[in-house]
């Protein structure tokens, strides 16, 4: 093979590599513009203190977990329902601003813990959290992002997007609503979770606790 043919092959290879690099950079910039817009759209919810979030999760063994979280000012209520093999167990948590109470309700027993130390909190979170522009670019340069219609809403599907909100090493897919920046679905490993939102609809009645006389009190040591 003469020198001219070798140079021609090298030139073709370099052109192909250059095209690949350009296409990669174009896609990376496109991804950055999309996630930057989603992050900006979410900002409208950072000051909300009256909202309801419903999270429905499905596991591979057929278990379904439904979590309803209610917040109004400094009050919180959580209703967690686990359904497996048609057996339903519930955990109800209440925070009235000064005290946290938890109620356990399953087919075998009903127990209550007053002045509990823990309550589940389901925040309105920015999927991209406090990432800088550089982190947004780097964390999404290899992501696959496409427009989809999900439950009648225009969303983006993000595959393998890296974010501090998702530290799992497993493959992931996240659906984020385009106009709000709210996460509406996640597929992390084998668990699929769907999220629904309501704003300014939570009433004081939701924070009324169950009749304590129906529960056995858990004594603290």
> So what's the pLDDT on residue 1?
61
Q: Could you report the per-residue pLDDT of 39-54, keeping only the tens digit for each?
A: 999 999 988 999 999 9
> So what's the pLDDT on residue 171?
60
Task: Work out the number of other CB atoms within 10 angstroms of the CB of residue 107.
Answer: 8
Q: Which residues is 134 bridged to in the sheet?
A: none
Mean local confidence (pLDDT), 11-39? 92
> So what's the pLDDT on residue 128?
82
C-alpha–C-alpha distance, residues 179 and 208, integer Å: 34
Q: Comparing 51-60, 63-72, 161-170, which segment has the lowest mean pLDDT?
A: 161-170
Mean local confidence (pLDDT), 108-133? 83
Structure tokens at 125: 């979170």
Cα-Cα-Cα-Cα torsion 131, 135, 137, 142, nearest 10 degrees, comes to -110
* Percent of the chain predicted with pLDDT > 90: 55
CB 160 within 8 A of CB 144: yes
pTM, to two decimals: 0.85
pLDDT of 150 > 90? The answer is yes
What Cα–Cα distance (Å) separates residue 63 from each residue in 40, 47, 48, 104?
Answer: 35, 34, 32, 18
Structure confidence at residue 79 as a pLDDT band (50, 70, 90): very high
Mean local confidence (pLDDT), 105-111? 89
> So what's the pLDDT on residue 205?
94
* Percent of the chain predicted with pLDDT > 70: 95
Task: Output phi, psi for 112, to 5 deg.
Answer: -135, 140
C-alpha–C-alpha distance, residues 30 and 203, integer Å: 42
> So what's the pLDDT on residue 93?
95
DSSP state of 179: T
Q: Which residues is 58 bridged to in the sheet?
A: 64, 192
Structure confidence at residue 218 as a pLDDT band (50, 70, 90): confident
Structure tokens at 149: 């219609």
**How confident is the prediction for the chain on average, in pLDDT?**
88
Q: Could you report the per-residue pLDDT of 90-100, keeping only the tens digit for each?
A: 999 999 988 99
Q: Determine whether 145 is exposed, middle or buried from the number of CB atoms within 10 Å of its CB (0-12, 13-18, 19+).
A: buried
Q: Comparing 14-28, 123-137, 146-160, which segment has the lowest mean pLDDT?
A: 123-137
pLDDT of 68 > 90? The answer is yes
Q: Which residues is 94 bridged to in the sheet?
A: 77, 101
> So what's the pLDDT on residue 52?
96
Q: Comparing 140-144, 165-169, 216-220, which segment has the lowest mean pLDDT?
A: 165-169
């Amino acid at each position: 093979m003469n020198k001219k043919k070798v140079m021609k092959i090298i030139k073709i290879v370099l052109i192909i590599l250059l095209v690949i690099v350009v296409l990669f950079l174009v896609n990376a910039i496109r991804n950055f513009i999309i996630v930057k817009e989603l992050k900006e759209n979410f900002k409208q919810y950072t000051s909300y203190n009256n909202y309801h979030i419903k999270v429905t999760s499905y596991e591979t063994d057929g278990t379904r977990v439904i979590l309803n979280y209610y917040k109004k000012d400094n009050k919180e209520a959580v209703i967690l329902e686990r359904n497996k093999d048609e057996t339903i167990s519930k955990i109800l948590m209440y925070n009235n601003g000064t005290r946290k109470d938890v109620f356990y309700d399953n087919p075998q027993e009903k127990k209550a813990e007053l002045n509990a130390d823990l309550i589940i909190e389901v925040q309105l979170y920015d999927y991209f959290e406090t990432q800088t522009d550089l982190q947004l670019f780097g964390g999404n340069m290899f992501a696959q992002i496409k427009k989809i219609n999900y439950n009648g809403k225009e969303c983006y599907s993000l595959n393998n997007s890296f974010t501090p909100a998702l530290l799992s090493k497993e493959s992931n897919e996240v659906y984020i609503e385009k106009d709000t920046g709210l996460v509406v679905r996640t597929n992390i490993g084998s668990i699929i979770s769907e999220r629904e939102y309501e704003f300014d609809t939570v009433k004081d009645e939701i924070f009324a606790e169950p009749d304590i006389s129906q529960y056995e009190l858990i004594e603290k040591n």
